Amino acid sequence: MTNNFNLADYSTWTALVTPFDELGAIDFDSLTNLVRQQAKAGNGILLLGSTGEGLAIAPEDQLTIVDFVCKLQPGVPLMVAVGGADLPAQLNWIKHCNRLDIHAYLLGTPFYAKPGVAGQTHWFKNLLDAAAHPCMIYNVPSRSGVNIPEQTVANLAEHKNLWAMKEASGDIHQFLAYRQVAPNLAMYSGEDALMPYLAAAGAVGLVSVCSNVWPQETNLYVKKSVAGDNQSLFPVWYNATNALFSAANPIPVKVLMHLRDMIASPMLRAPLTHLELTEHQGIVDADKSVCNWYAAQRKQAALADIS
């Protein structure tokens, strides 16, 4: 490894989009620019999550993306998503990624199968055992079709490779239940809009979609949330984050990134398409609102330094 990062130092992790060109091929030039923008903001980078359309990308291309980003040596930690429903295939994926210069894994529940406590414990334990890096488990019932029961988390809580949990159920009671059964597990919000609320309940950071288009702005948003300095966050961030989920993720964020010339094309892999988002005014207004908020925060900080 070229860098030994303290993962706890990174409260913002960007679930990075995968940019494609007009023909659907991976746009490595745009990917390079995105990685550099995230590194400049000091955000950890998650590759091939649902925002990165990982399940729509062939395994050999997934490996190419991870290897490419590793070779960029961005100077921030890299996390790689592990997801699907085929345990041997995911173990093989981890085996390949263990050889690369990455720093963490995001382990999702199996999609569609809807396993219970015993099945989930078996799934996660096998992945944790195979991993050569710290792991974050991921509760996202809206995508996987099943919630992670507290007992599953309790069963895994003492595993040496389990570092954190990304909670994206949208239920603060679920978040608190996980904290109760695994008080030493670092808890991250998986929903941008809920970050201030979950920070008050003990979340230490955010795995973010918004930070794709607003890297530095989201970094500040998370830091203020964790510090309990929430006064300036409402309703700007609530409205802005909702705008970025006005269609299936990552459609709105890719469209906005294209409008801002951050990526060359808004193309997504089927079955998703940017054509689903027919009205752009909401995301354009959100962008203006967040940029104005950030400028005001920087001005306020500069005045405080002078005084």
**SS3 of residue 71 by DSSP:** helix
Question: Is the Cβ–Cβ distance between 283 and 256 less than 8 Å?
Answer: yes
Q: How far apart are CA 23 and CA 134, in angstroms?
A: 36
| Maximum separation of any 2 CA atoms in the chain, in Å | 60
Residues marked active site are found at 138, 166
Q: Identify the helix (H) or strand (E) that includes residue 288.
A: helix 281-306
In terms of Cβ atoms closer than 10 Å to its own Cβ (0-12, 13-18, 19+), residue 177 is middle
Nearest to 240 by CA among 170, 166, 300, 291: 291
Cis peptide before 235 (omega within 30 of 0): yes
Amino acid identity at 22: E
- Which position has the token pair 């990455």? 102
At residue 303, φ and ψ (nearest 5 deg) are -65, -35
Q: CA torsion angle for 152, 156, 161, 166 (degrees, to 10)? A: 30
